[in-house]
Amino acid sequence: MVDTIGFDDKSFLSLDATRHSTELHVVERWRLILDGTYMEKRWTVDDPRALKAVYTFTRYHKKLPADWRGNETTCLSTPENWRAWVQIRNDAVRFAAEERAAAAKKNVKK
């Protein structure tokens, strides 16, 4: 289990630029399931100032064979990969801002 607090409010909860406050609290629980075939990773996210309710999400990863060797370089190890990731993030932030602006504009017309 990993219990994390002490976040600043300068990052996002997701690529769509969902904001959080300094009261963000994240709990991660990892466990092996199905006789160790899969790793279950479950996160519980709470932020009473930024979220309406606590939410939980789960991801499953199949265990790799003991002799498996992956690519030893990091996925952001080249300038091209880094630029591509930054572009994806910026596109997501821009999209979220456009969606919020459109919703606000729609609410003003009412």
Rounded Cα distance, 21 and 13, in Å: 10
pTM above 0.75, yes or no: no
3 φ, ψ (degrees, to nearest 5): -115, 115
Closest CA to 61 of 36, 79, 88: 36
Would you list the domain boundaries of the chain? Answer: 1-70, 73-110
pLDDT by residue for the chain (110 residues), tens digit each?
Answer: 999 999 888 888 776 778 889 999 999 999 999 998 999 999 999 999 988 999 999 999 998 888 887 766 666 677 888 788 888 888 888 888 888 888 888 877 66
